[in-house]
Amino acid sequence: MDMPKIGLGTFRLQGQQVVDSVLTGLELGYRHIDTAQIYGNEAEVGQALRQSGLPREQVFLTTKIWTENLGREKLADSLRRSLDLLGVEQVDMALIHWPSPGDELPVAEYMEALALAKQQGLTRRIGVSNFTIAHLRQALAAVGPGEIANQQVEVHPFLQNRKLLAFCREQGVPVTAYMPLAYGKVMDEPLLREIAARHRASPAQLALAWLLRQELAVIPSSTRRANLAANLQAAALRLSEAEMDAIAGLERGERLAAPEFGPRWD
């Protein structure tokens, strides 16, 4: 199964809230669900998958390995715990959530451990998240060309990560944009509102369409049925080159995911 370009993110969703969001999303047609060990909601995501009644092979499921589990002796066991919580035998993709803080552990160590987890059948694909160009170079060297199936990174009109995205394209690493709506800030941007009005769309749909046009996958999250449905419809929007360029002009380096342990960005 190929990874659907529009997925449902579950960051910050907890308890029944995430169950309801995932169930509604699956009912509306989402077939790509993204979670992570640190989100603390893998069990609820698994519950929603079971309640949906959909065959396992119809839903692309991604989880991410947290930094404390990156050690060679910890990674696979942590992924097995994630599988138990999710109630599945295998995820479709497992990502390293962040590089080892301060590069305490070598990239090669945890990438090789992740590749071994794939060989053991714990995940169908492997990838990374929040990797700089330097980290990506090391990861590619560790597991070989073609093995990194995805890089998740923050991308939205206000933070476009152009240098990093260009490197990913050069290396054939597909990219998923997380926080594609900049925590809802796109809704208040005058330019996005103006262009969206021409298309009889919302600024959120416009931002997603802009990212999709660049061959990026997106994983917006929502707890509202109307928003979940509207996000899916973004794929039908057709933006002109002039509109694409105008939105590109909104770049201002506004990084929202900036934990203290994060890497030095390109």
Residues recorded for the chain? 266
Q: How far apart, in Å, are the Cα atoms of 121 and each of 60, 83, 94? A: 15, 11, 11
Residues 261 and 15: their CA atoms lie apart, in Å, by 27
User: At residue 77, what are phi and psi to the nearest 5 degrees?
Assistant: -65, -40
DSSP code, position 183:
G
Residue 216 in tokens: 């990026």
Query: Residue 202, exposed/middle/buried by CB under 10 A (0-12, 13-18, 19+)?
Result: buried
Catalytic residue among 39, 110, 178, 183: 39
Active site annotation includes 183: no
CB 127 within 8 A of CB 152: yes
For residue 86, the SS3 value is helix
Cross-strand pairs, 63: 94
**Nearest to residue 206, comparing CAs of 156, 256, 160?**
156
Residue 158 in tokens: 């206000």
Task: Give the residue numbers marked as catalytic.
Answer: 39
